[in-house]
Amino acid sequence: MKTATAAVLRAYDEPLRLESVRIPEVRADEVLVRIHGVGICHTDLTAAAGGVPFPLPGVLGHEGSGVIAAVGEGVTGLAPGDPVVLGFDSCRHCRNCSRGRPAYCEHSAAFNYGGTRADGSTTLTDADGAALHGNWFGQSSMCSYAIASARNTIRLPSDVPVALAGPLGCGLQTGAGTVFNVLRPEPGSTIAVFGLGAVGMAAIMAARIAGCETVVAVDPLQSRRALALELGATTALSPADVDDVGRAVRRESSGGVDFAVESVGTEAVVRQALSSLRTPGNCATLGLRPGRNPVTVDQGHLLHGRTLTGVIEGDADPLKFLPTLVDLWRQGRFPLERLVQTFPIARIDDAVAAARSGEVVKAVLTFPTDDTGG
């Protein structure tokens, strides 16, 4: 049993409150990670507002990174002291997992949103000993210690800043994976990215690495457009400055882009992204919106060789894909630190506000690493 500090959500739409919690001993297939940093992803905010069916009270956080404190006796290839980043969880056995596509695991909901282990037990209790829901994306890492498993724990090289690595596990994997694994642009392709949060910025960096010649960045925030231009966008525009966003992107790309990445998820932006495509062309939609989210598309527009595809977690296997991203990061080609602003966990309210407003691209909460955790 370990004592830890967690950001606990006791009711939807209420602030996350720091509480002292208890973590049980790890089971045979589990890993205990002392969390150094955890990114705030929009899916955490959507869940905190009740937009994802995660049971309460519970602990969110699914972009955790840190150092392994303990491993269960059945875990191989990971050891205490290893720096690690955590990804989403999956069963690794179902039809989709066995085909290398764990982002579409048939048991994804239970493994990522269920709030408990498969047997119904929880990996956290509060100071009074009452169960708290954990296992959010197989980690619940808005806590100074998190229980994960070898299924979603990826060792980091010792020369990277561990506390900054967490966003690789969701937002950055989503944006970069969509480009590398789904759209797969050939060198010389044209691409537009709608929405310049961490997902969109990762798509821009990946597009540049893939050799895209024209990279159009679209976002209403000037600061984000400026950063996108530094990270690889070749042109940037604000939807507020033009009457027809699709037409403006087509103008910037000699008649339309081969690929579009849409990270917002609203009908308006999906339609802008589709309208920006040349023929043939492929648009990936990534933004998660709460509840049903119908979008009307013109079938005649799709007929001309255009595709609209949805993507979860970049269609990536984190055990394989995160080491690739880490390599690119070490080479200076995927400078994720440019996206990150850190906040000590005590300032969680400021971090959540900055993530909500878009004032920071990626807020990462950090935990004091001199705390022994009891």
> Footprint of Zn ion on this chain (CB under 5 A)?
41, 43, 90-91, 94, 97, 105, 170
Report, in Å, the least distance between residue 3 CB and Zn ion.
27
Cβ atoms of 144 and 71 within 8 Å: the answer is no
Q: What are phi and psi of 212, to 5 degrees?
A: -60, 140
Residue (91 or 221) nearer to Zn ion, CB: 91
What span, in angstroms and rounded, lies between the C-alpha atoms of 211 and 188?
6
Beta pairing, strands 235-237 & 257-262: unpaired
Report, in Å, the least distance between residue 128 CB and Zn ion.
30
Residue (105 or 203) nearer to Zn ion, CB: 105
What is the total residue count of the chain? 374
Residue (18 or 91) nearer to Zn ion, CB: 91
Q: What is the CB neighbour count within 10 angstroms for residue 323?
A: 16
Report, in Å, the least distance between residue 80 CB and Zn ion.
27
Report, in Å, the least distance between residue 43 CB and Zn ion.
4
Residue (65 or 275) nearer to Zn ion, CB: 65
Give one word for 355, left, alpha or beta, with left for phi > 0 and alpha for psi -120 to 50.
alpha
Look up tokens 């047997």; give the residue.
119
Residue (41 or 201) nearer to Zn ion, CB: 41
Residue (22 or 117) nearer to Zn ion, CB: 117
Can you read off the two tokens belonging to residue 210? 């893939």
Report, in Å, the least distance between residue 106 CB and Zn ion.
5
* Of 208, 209, 165, the residue nearest 342 (C-alpha): 165
Residue (97 or 345) nearer to Zn ion, CB: 97
Can you read off the two tokens belonging to residue 187? 């060198």
Report, in Å, the least distance between residue 298 CB and Zn ion.
31
Look up tokens 């690929």; give the residue.
259
- Which amino acid does the sequence have at 166? G
Using alpha carbons only, give the angle 71, 3, 31 rounded to the nearest 5 degrees.
Answer: 15
Report, in Å, the least distance between residue 147 CB and Zn ion.
19
